[in-house]
């Protein structure tokens, strides 16, 4: 089995945040999801994954770390390594990729991924390693996400062969692949605007996308030519892999679905006895 180092991006995007203001937490990463800080859920998923050899945090800020005893203890005991965050997620990713040994592939995810599980991590890592690509992105079919979470608002990449949602899972499989972090920094501001990203592939690709003619494979081929790397995708069969917490409505939804899942697990088996 291919082993990955992992990175959790846990910095803050803005000085003011509606989630922090509403919940009173020191930083978004410490949002309580079912009695557990969101970032601790992500760490637990990585800890439980057979593919992950080490976990590194880029953020949250030191004051935020010190405000949470469990997170502070993990870092103090060396269970996870901590580095102050950069000014943006793409900058943090670029910096972390430069710190980690080139010999091992790197999985990057985010702290606002509270439904991430070890199963999802292992599926993504092992299928990524089998692609032969330099960089792999995790996507989930939009139809599957919508069926499981009809209220969830997600940015959708709509191709001729279907719509897909991002899953905040990125595999950097080769030393050369780490160069894509520079490209990431260029497109980060447009991460919620699919048309702006597709425009980078050229006018013809943009027209094909607008007309519904562009396939996912064609988009990946164009992006690979644009950056000079082999960029692939793993389509994940897990709707919850696409759930992150970007807004107060996301937070309410995750809390509700998490509570319902816990109640189902607590119900006695009807066939027992």
pLDDT tens digits, 210-222: 667 689 999 899 8
Question: Do the domain assignments include residue 200?
Answer: yes
Question: Do the domain assignments include residue 271?
Answer: no
| CA–CA separation, 219 and 230 (whole Å) | 12
Express each pLDDT in 16-39 by its tens digit.
677 887 788 889 999 999 889 999
Express each pLDDT in 141-167 by its tens digit.
999 999 999 999 898 988 999 999 999
Rounded to 10 degrees, the C-alpha dihedral 10/16/18/21 comes to 100
Sign of the torsion angle spanned by Cα atoms 128, 134, 137, 141: negative
More confident residue, 11 or 21: 11
pLDDT at 134: 97
Q: How many domains does the chain have?
A: 1
Q: How far apart are the first and last CA of the chain?
A: 41
Mean pLDDT over 195-206 rounds to: 59
Question: Do the domain assignments include residue 87?
Answer: yes
> At residue 223, what are phi and psi to the nearest 5 degrees?
-65, -40
| CA–CA separation, 186 and 223 (whole Å) | 13
Question: Do the domain assignments include residue 263?
Answer: no
Contact between 124 and 171 under an 8 Å Cβ cutoff? The reply is: yes
Q: Which domain holds residue 100?
A: 4-258
| CA–CA separation, 132 and 136 (whole Å) | 9
Q: How far is CA 122 from CA 45, 55, 64, 110, 125, in A?
A: 10, 14, 29, 16, 5
Mean pLDDT taken over the chain:
87
pLDDT at 90: 85
Question: Do the domain assignments include residue 267?
Answer: no
Question: Do the domain assignments include residue 130?
Answer: yes
Residues 6+ apart with CB under 8 A from 98: 178
Express each pLDDT in 98-141 by its tens digit.
999 999 999 999 999 999 999 999 999 999 999 999 999 999 99
Structure tokens at 51: 């593919």
Sign of the torsion angle spanned by Cα atoms 207, 213, 218, 223: positive
- The CATH number given to whatever domain includes residue 93 is 3.90.550.10
More confident residue, 238 or 188: 238
Question: Do the domain assignments include residue 192?
Answer: yes
The closest alpha carbon to 4, from 115, 185, 138, belongs to 138
Question: Do the domain assignments include residue 268?
Answer: no
- Asked whether residue 226 carries a pLDDT value surpassing 70, the answer given is yes
């Amino acid at each position: 089995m291919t082993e990955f180092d992992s990175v959790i991006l846990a910095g803050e995007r803005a000085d003011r945040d509606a989630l922090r203001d509403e919940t009173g937490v020191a930083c978004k990463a410490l949002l309580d999801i079912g009695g557990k800080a969101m970032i601790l859920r992500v760490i637990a998923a990585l800890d439980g994954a057979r593919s992950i050899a080490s976990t590194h945090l880029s953020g949250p800020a030191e004051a935020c770390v010190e405000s949470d005893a469990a997170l502070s203890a993990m870092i103090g005991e060396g269970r996870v390594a901590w580095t102050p965050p950069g000014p943006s997620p793409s900058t943090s990713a670029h910096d972390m990729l430069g710190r980690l040994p080139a010999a091992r592939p790197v999985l990057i995810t985010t702290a606002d991924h509270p439904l991430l599980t070890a199963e999802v991590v292992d599926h993504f890592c092992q299928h990524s390693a089998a692609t032969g690509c330099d960089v792999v992105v995790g996507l989930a079919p939009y139809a599957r996400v919508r069926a499981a979470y009809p209220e969830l608002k997600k940015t959708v990449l709509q191709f001729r062969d279907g719509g897909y949602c991002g899953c905040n899972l990125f595999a950097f499989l080769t030393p050369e692949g780490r160069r894509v972090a520079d490209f990431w920094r260029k497109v980060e501001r447009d991460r919620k605007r699919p048309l702006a990203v597709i425009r980078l592939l050229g006018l013809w690709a943009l027209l094909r996308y607008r007309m519904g003619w562009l396939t996912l494979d064609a988009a990946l081929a164009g992006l690979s030519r644009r950056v000079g790397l082999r960029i692939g995708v793993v389509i994940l069969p897990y709707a919850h892999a696409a759930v992150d917490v970007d807004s107060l409505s996301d937070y309410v939804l995750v809390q509700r679905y998490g509570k319902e899942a816990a109640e189902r697990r607590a119900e006695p088996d009807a066939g027992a006895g």
